[in-house]
Amino acid sequence: MFENLFAVGGLSLDRLKSFVEVAEQGAIARVADGDPSRQSLISRQIGELEAFFGAELTRRKGKGLELTEAGRELARQVRLQFHGLTDFKADCARQPVEFRMAAGNSILEWLLAPAMARIVLSAEGSTFVLSGQRTGDVVRGLLDHTLDFGIVRKSAIVPPLKFRPIGKLRYALFVPKSLSALADRDLSKVPLALSVGGNFLETFQIAAKQAKQELNIVSRCTSFTLAAQLLRSGVAAAVLPSIAAPFLPSVAKPRPLSILASISRDLGIAWHRRLMDIRPRSTDLLEALANGLSVDLQKA
């Protein structure tokens, strides 16, 4: 039935594994980790795969290499297959199945991480690897199956990703106690920390201009979590997702800010269309995630 695959040698799990690792790391050197034998082995293995498939899988780029289109396709395929076998094995051994989830740092810290306690309970027999990444990287990870689930805004979704909304992410102004009085008097004087991560800053500034709201932006942070640190130290107020509130109770109270009312994002769970087929357990996990996360987002 699969004569074409095995009529000639050249295909082996080890070679495919090496290739996927190179695809992952982007360089043989990183996979070989300084070991010159391993470097030569991997280089040869990729060559053997190329001979087997009759196509270039990598090409040289500068000192290193990059995958060809065929190479990326093969890496996707094989990653998927290895996941399938890994899960099957874990299932057989009644071992936990590992899922990899990612979100922006602020979502991760203030939404996903706190909800994990609940999620872990309703996802018996699964373990999780959480990572904070920029939205673009999350989407890329979902596309090439290095991630299983991502929590992202709806507008970031591209086919063949699927999306399940968990609620609207709103923003609020958090003013530390030290600046509370000043904020009551004249909001435009309050030193403000903003995040320049993602596309939030632009959106915010456009809204501010339209509302003719003067603002004293003293600090631009690379993430909301960093802005929250400035807030904690009392040097500045910050515009943060409202879900940060439970983590700053003694520091600041969120205040609705008129220009923020119009800024909100449909947040949800994203995954690859094929995920449920390849990893059957992910169906249940999706439910657990949706339940666990919706609750928190509604509260905020």
Partner DNA sequence: CGGATATATTACTTTATCGTCATGTTTGAA
Partner DNA sequence: TTCAAACATGACGATAAAGTAATATATCCG
**What is the binding site for its own copies (CB under 8 A)?**
1-2, 4-6, 11-14, 17, 20-21, 24, 52-55, 70, 73-74, 77, 80-82, 84-86, 88-93, 273-274, 277
Choosing among DNA, its own copies, none, which partner's interface includes residue 54 (Cβ < 5 to 8 Å by kind)? its own copies
Choosing among its own copies, DNA, none, which partner's interface includes residue 88 (Cβ < 5 to 8 Å by kind)? its own copies
Q: How many CB atoms lie under 10 A from the CB of residue 283?
A: 11
Smallest distance from DNA to CB 230, Å: 35
Cα–Cα distance measured from residue 267 to residue 286, given in angstroms and rounded to the nearest whole number: 15
Between 21 and 266, CB nearer to DNA = 21
Eight-class DSSP state of 10: -
Where helices occur in 108-174 by DSSP H, the ranges are: 113-122, 135-143
Between 85 and 158, CB nearer to DNA = 85
Choosing among its own copies, DNA, none, which partner's interface includes residue 24 (Cβ < 5 to 8 Å by kind)? its own copies
Choosing among its own copies, DNA, none, which partner's interface includes residue 165 (Cβ < 5 to 8 Å by kind)? none
Smallest distance from its own copies to CB 53, Å: 4
Smallest distance from DNA to CB 3, Å: 13
245 Rama class: left (phi>0) / alpha (psi -120 to 50) / beta: alpha
Choosing among DNA, its own copies, none, which partner's interface includes residue 39 (Cβ < 5 to 8 Å by kind)? DNA
Cα–Cα distance measured from residue 65 to residue 41, given in angstroms and rounded to the nearest whole number: 16
Smallest distance from DNA to CB 98, Å: 22
Cα-based angle 257, 261, 265 (whole degrees, multiple of 5): 125
Between 12 and 262, CB nearer to its own copies = 12
Between 68 and 219, CB nearer to its own copies = 68
- The Cα-based distances of 140 to 145, 194, 227 in angstroms read 8, 26, 26
Strand partners for 128? 99
Choosing among DNA, its own copies, none, which partner's interface includes residue 266 (Cβ < 5 to 8 Å by kind)? none
Closest to 123 (Cα-Cα) out of 145, 101, 154, 156: 101
Smallest distance from its own copies to CB 78, Å: 8
Between 146 and 195, CB nearer to its own copies = 146
Cα–Cα distance measured from residue 63 to residue 245, given in angstroms and rounded to the nearest whole number: 48
DSSP line for 203-239: HHHHHHHHTT---EEEEEESSHHHHHHHHHHTS-EEE
Smallest distance from DNA to CB 47, Å: 5
Residue 63's φ and ψ, nearest 5 degrees, are: -75, -25
Between 4 and 37, CB nearer to DNA = 37
Choosing among DNA, its own copies, none, which partner's interface includes residue 51 (Cβ < 5 to 8 Å by kind)? none
Between 3 and 14, CB nearer to DNA = 14
Residue type, 127: T
Between 1 and 117, CB nearer to its own copies = 1
Smallest distance from DNA to CB 279, Å: 24
List interacting residues with DNA (CB under 7 A).
Answer: 9-12, 14-15, 27-29, 32, 35-41, 43-48, 58, 60, 62-65
Closest to 295 (Cα-Cα) out of 104, 170, 130, 166: 166
| Coil, strand or helix at 192 | strand
